Amino acid sequence: MLACVWLLTIGGCAMPQPWVKPHERERLADPILQWQGDLLSSKNSQHVRDIREGARGANGVQGGGCGCK
C-alpha cells in the first residue's frame, strides 16, 4: 500500500523547469525588452567604440529573445 501511495505521489511530480521554452517566449521577444531603444544607432556607436578603444566583444548576447537556435 505504501509503495502504491509513493508511486502515485512521485507520478504527480515533474522535474522543476525554471527555464522558459522557446515557444513560450512571446512576451520576451517583445521589442520593448531590448536593452537598446534603437538597434541601428547602438550598433553604430558600438562600432565607433570598437575603433577608438581597439577592443571588441563582450557586449551581451545577440538576438531578440526568441530562443531560436
Partner 1 sequence: MRDLIHRRSLMAVVLLAAAGAARAKAAPDALAPDFTLRQIDGANLRLGEQRGRVVMVNFWASWCGPCRVELPQLARLHDKYRGSGFLLLGVNIDEDAAAAKALAAKLGITFPILLDSKKEVVGAYDLNAMPATVLIDRDGRVRHLHRGYKDGVEQVYEQQVRALLRE
Is 69 among the residues that bind partner 1 (CB under 8 A)? yes
Q: 50 in the Ramachandran plot: left (φ > 0), alpha (ψ -120 to 50) or beta?
A: alpha
- Contact yes or no for 65/33 (Cβ under 8 A): yes
Q: Which stretch binds partner 1 (CB under 8 A): 4-12, 39-47, 51-59?
A: 4-12
Centroid of chain to Cα 26 = 12
Is 30 among the residues that bind partner 1 (CB under 8 A)? yes
- CA-closest candidate to residue 43, choices 25, 60, 65, 67: 60
Is 22 among the residues that bind partner 1 (CB under 8 A)? yes
* Shortest distance in whole angstroms from residue 16 CB to partner 1: 17
Using CB under 8 A as the criterion, which residues of the chain lie in contact with partner 1 when the complex forms?
A: 1, 3-4, 7-8, 11, 21-26, 29-30, 64, 66-69
